[in-house]
Amino acid sequence: MGMDEKAFQFGSFIDGEEIKGLGRKELEVLNPYNQKVIGTISCGVVNDVKLAVAAADKVYHETMKKMPAYERSNILRHAADLLEQKFENFSRLLTLEAGKPIRESRGEVTRALQVLRLASEGAKNIFGEQIPLDIAVGGTNQIGFTKRVPLGVVAAITPFNFPLNLALHKLLLPSQRAIQSSLSLQKKHHCLPLCCINFLTRQVCQKEPLMS
């Protein structure tokens, strides 16, 4: 069955598990070109946010905070390799859900590959600074230094126009208008330790706040 014939079904991904159903609102994802349903998502609720934050905080302290630079680099490079293997599939999915021409979708996947590979190299080149302290009395022959360390849990929303590429810059609440490309990356390719990336699906017009 071709990608354009499938009906995708996604929920939120929290702590390595897909969360859907159980009374959560189902939202149809439409092809903006012809308004055909290409899939459904199960919308997240407030408690999902609490679970996602707790899972992310746990994996940050237990795994990611201690992970050496070469391992982070290898993970990002491996993610790029996996994405490249499915280059055309992701391009077609982007066209289906975002309504953009296939040429632009292929351009976005190409850019996403560049982001991952540049980040892979960048992970090995995150350095601090040495600062001479002799600009002040008492600082002769003394040096201060800075060290870059992981900040911790980060939450971000990605827009609909470049849902795959921009998702790779963030930890993630995908746009409901183009959600499946970003979710597919984690659902099909567990590039990072489970719990490291948590996806929350959400309908923009839902009145219930995600956070209080």
Domain locations in the chain as residue ranges: 3-66+126-188
Residue with token string 């567990």: 190
What CATH homologous superfamily does 3-66+126-188 map to?
A: Aldehyde Dehydrogenase; Chain A, domain 1 (3.40.605.10)
Q: What is the tens place of the pLDDT at every residue in 179-196?
A: 455 555 555 545 555 556
Average pLDDT, the chain: 79
User: What residue has token string 């993610």?
Assistant: 79
Q: Which of 72-76, 110-114, 157-161 has the highest mean pLDDT?
A: 110-114
pLDDT, position 186: 53
Q: Which pLDDT does position 205 carry in this prediction?
A: 46
Percent of the chain's residues with pLDDT above 70 = 78
Contact 204, 176 (CB under 8 A): yes
Amino acid at 113: L
pLDDT, average across residues 71-78: 89
C-alpha dist (Å) from residue 192 to 75, 143, 165, 180, 186: 6, 37, 17, 18, 9
Which letter does DSSP use for residue 144 in this model? E
What is the reported pTM?
A: 0.76
Residues in contact with 25: Cβ distance below 8 Å, sequence separation at least 6, in sequence order: 42, 43, 203, 206
